[in-house]
Amino acid sequence: MPIFSPRRYQPAYLPLRRDKAAVRAFTAFERTVKGALFGCRMCGNCILQETAFVCPMTCPMGLRNGLCGGASAEHCAVDPTRPCTWFKIYERAERLGRLDQLLEINAPLDGNKVGHETWLDALRLWRERDKGPHPIELVTDREKFQQEWDSFFHDLRQPAWWEGDAAYHPPAYSEPISGLEAGLRSGAFVVTAEIAPPLTASTKLLDKKVNMLRGYVTAANFTDNASAAARMSSIASSKLCLDDGLEPVMQLQARDRSRVALESDAMGAAGLGIRNILCLSGDHACFGPSPSCKPDQSDLDAVQLLWMLRRMRDEGKYLDGREIKQRPQWFLGAAGSPFGAPPKYEAIRAEKKINAGAQFIQTQPIFDHAHFLEWLAALDQRNLLDKVYILAGIVPLKSSQAAHFMADTVPGVVVPPAVLARMDAAGEDKEAQQETGIAIALELLEQLQQTPGIHGVHIMAVHWEEVVPRLIDDAGLPRPVLAGERVMA
Ligand code: SF4
């Protein structure tokens, strides 16, 4: 068990190519020391300086920019026998007064460095820089030494192809890129809804659902193999939706895809006319059906995905530096987790996503309005509410069983006991249960329409899409902005 981090999830990496014997011996020495201290996995890009000396590579999802949606103070969502690495990072950073240091956007790994020693690398950089830190200044000029120390480690962990920072980067364009962006900018209360892509090769059901929602919602989200279970791809579903006359929000999750596949799929979407992309880390494969894929299936996390796509759009270059002559046009979004970790930690994660490039946030389902307000207040404290559009998540509960399933198994979703009790009180009658679920959703919609800082709602009806038009009508939500005109319900 390492001294400063939770135990490592998988053994340390080995390099792609075999080094010379002397380097191998040094690497083995470094691996032993850092393994005992930090559970180091020899990722080749050490960010311990940034993460309060808890190694983020001990997180089973390898997340380098904050926690997943299912993290809790008690245990890791993937492996309940271990603590959550990121809770440890936040807690220690808070104790050390270094919470804001977690805002820097950390780079994904460089495959050519993975498994190699880093101490010789650091020594090489120190000699090349020739600007300190100089040990003598530790005695003669402590402040200068500290500045040089910080700048040295910044250069070490932020490669030229990444250049991550802790600053907000507003989009480098002025006109709205999509109907969703135009609707949000107009100040209208915007409604989006989720459609699960089909399980089969037939597109009939998808077309039917799109036709049902067109005229009611501004855009429809298509999940990207949610819960690690395969369906028709989000990109294909989004294109079909577009052809049916409704604007899609393509969900793009980092799980199962390398950076190359992510860049390629996002560029493909741009070529097909898909403008809204919701960037996600994705549920771990362990949440999907068996057999699941091998561990370590994430190359990037949601923050890194946003950073990469924003730079492709605004700076016109791929991650490897190749120029993009005709830049893609994307309105970029992220998921928000009001009910995961304490709001002060979730707000840091949200700020990182916004700084990286998130222009809108669709939240996890809300069943507890008071707790949701705490999350909003934490975002407000970090001055985030004027930098992002927030669409609050709503799930109409179809049955008491569905309510309990969500409460017990869906990471990051909290269904309060009072809501469960109401669903249970509806008895065995299916219709009565549905009506109770609709009544709960309508009450929340009414509260959310009056909540400052909210720009709309995102309805996730989970295979019950036919209820969406009724919810919109009964709640008196505005119909989408069409061709510059606002149609009222
Ligand atoms: S709960 Fe999530 S963020 Fe925390 S260690 Fe597990 S996978 Fe990583």
> Measured from the CA of 66, which atom of ligand 1 is nearest?
3
The CA distance from 329 to 325, in Å, is 12
Q: What's residue 485's pLDDT?
A: 43
Q: What's residue 99's pLDDT?
A: 92
Domain shared by 151 and 186, yes or no: no
Place of tokens 């994705």: 282
Spacing, Cα 127 to ligand 1 middle (Å) = 37
Q: What's residue 139's pLDDT?
A: 87
Domain shared by 147 and 192, yes or no: no
> Measured from the CA of 85, which atom of ligand 1 is nearest?
5
7 in a domain, yes or no? no
Residue 254 forms beta bridges with which residues?
none
Domain shared by 122 and 249, yes or no: no
Domain shared by 220 and 97, yes or no: no
- Residues 275-302 have a mean pLDDT of 91
> Measured from the CA of 77, which atom of ligand 1 is nearest?
1
72, 384, 252, 54 alpha-carbon torsion, rounded to 10°: -40
pLDDT digits over 210-261, tens only?
999 999 999 999 999 998 999 999 999 999 999 999 999 999 999 999 999 9
CATH number at residue 387: 3.20.20.220
In Å, what is the CA distance from 158 to each residue of 113, 115, 171, 305, 467? 13, 18, 22, 16, 48
Best residue for ligand 1 mutational test, from 8, 65, 67, 72 (most atoms within 8 Å of Cβ): 67
Q: Which of 157, 191, 225 is the last residue of a domain?
A: 157
At residue 488, does pLDDT exceed 60? no
Spacing, Cα 444 to ligand 1 middle (Å) = 30
The 3-state DSSP class for residue 233 equals: coil
Parallel/antiparallel/unpaired status of strands 219-222 and 190-195: parallel
Spacing, Cα 43 to ligand 1 middle (Å) = 17
Q: How many CA atoms lie within 13 A of 176 on its CB side?
A: 12
62 in a domain, yes or no? yes
> Measured from the CA of 79, which atom of ligand 1 is nearest?
6
Residue nearest to atom 4 of ligand 1 (CA): 84
Residue nearest to atom 3 of ligand 1 (CA): 67
Least confident of 47-61, 68-82, 470-484: 470-484
Average model confidence (pLDDT) across the chain: 93
148 in a domain, yes or no? yes
The CA distance from 178 to 333, in Å, is 12
Spacing, Cα 379 to ligand 1 middle (Å) = 22
Spacing, Cα 297 to ligand 1 middle (Å) = 14
Does any ligand 1 atom lie closer than 6 A to the CB of residue 71? yes
Residue 310 structure tokens: 């924003």
Residue 231 structure tokens: 């369906």
Residue 350 region by backbone torsions, left for phi larger than 0, else alpha for psi between -120 and 50, else beta: alpha
Domain shared by 134 and 187, yes or no: no
**Which domain covers residue 317, as residue numbers?**
179-486
Domain shared by 123 and 195, yes or no: no
Does any ligand 1 atom lie closer than 6 A to the CB of residue 76? yes
pLDDT band, very low/low/confident/very high, at 481 (cuts 50, 70, 90): low
Does any ligand 1 atom lie closer than 6 A to the CB of residue 77? yes
pLDDT digits over 3-59, tens only?
888 888 788 999 998 989 999 999 999 999 999 999 999 999 999 989 999 999 999
Give DSSP secondary structure letters for 12-71.
PP--SS---HHHHHHHHHHHHHHHHHH-----SS--TTTTTT--GGGSTT--SSS--TT-
Distance between start and end Cα atoms, the chain: 60
Handedness of CA 15, 18, 21, 23 (dihedral sign): negative
Give DSSP secondary structure letters for 179-214.
HHHHHHHHT--EEEEEEPPPSSS--HHHHHHHHHHB
Domains identified in the chain, total number? 2
The CA distance from 291 to 288, in Å, is 8
Domain shared by 89 and 228, yes or no: no
Does any ligand 1 atom lie closer than 6 A to the CB of residue 67? yes
Nearest to 168 by CA among 415, 358, 393, 34: 358
Spacing, Cα 451 to ligand 1 middle (Å) = 31
Q: What's residue 195's pLDDT?
A: 96
Least confident of 149-163, 294-308, 474-488: 474-488
Q: What's residue 412's pLDDT?
A: 82
3-state percent helix, strand, coil for the chain, nearest multiple of 5: 40, 10, 45
Does any ligand 1 atom lie closer than 6 A to the CB of residue 84? yes
Best residue for ligand 1 mutational test, from 86, 89, 102, 349 (most atoms within 8 Å of Cβ): 86
Best residue for ligand 1 mutational test, from 74, 76, 281 (most atoms within 8 Å of Cβ): 76
13 in a domain, yes or no? no
166 in a domain, yes or no? no
The CA distance from 433 to 398, in Å, is 7
Contact 391, 457 (CB under 8 A): yes
Does any ligand 1 atom lie closer than 6 A to the CB of residue 63? yes
Among 149-158, 339-348, 375-384, top mean pLDDT goes to 375-384
Q: What's residue 411's pLDDT?
A: 79
Q: What's residue 486's pLDDT?
A: 39
Does any ligand 1 atom lie closer than 6 A to the CB of residue 86? yes
pLDDT digits over 354-367, tens only?
999 999 999 999 99
Contact 275, 225 (CB under 8 A): no
Q: What's residue 237's pLDDT?
A: 98
- Residues 458-478 have a mean pLDDT of 96
At residue 296, does pLDDT exceed 80? no
Place of tokens 């999940």: 223
Domain shared by 242 and 133, yes or no: no
Q: What's residue 489's pLDDT?
A: 33
Whether this prediction's pTM lies above 0.85 is answered by: yes
14 in a domain, yes or no? no
Domain shared by 130 and 251, yes or no: no
Residue nearest to atom 6 of ligand 1 (CA): 76
Spacing, Cα 162 to ligand 1 middle (Å) = 24
Spacing, Cα 71 to ligand 1 middle (Å) = 5
pLDDT band, very low/low/confident/very high, at 482 (cuts 50, 70, 90): low
Best residue for ligand 1 mutational test, from 7, 65, 68 (most atoms within 8 Å of Cβ): 68
At residue 401, does pLDDT exceed 60? yes
Domain shared by 130 and 243, yes or no: no
Percent of the chain with pLDDT over 90: 83
Residue nearest to atom 8 of ligand 1 (CA): 59
174 in a domain, yes or no? no
Least confident of 129-138, 151-160, 178-187, 437-446: 129-138
Domain shared by 25 and 139, yes or no: yes
271 in a domain, yes or no? yes
Residue 276 forms beta bridges with which residues?
249, 331
pLDDT top residue among 389 and 295: 389
Domain shared by 126 and 242, yes or no: no
Does any ligand 1 atom lie closer than 6 A to the CB of residue 78? yes
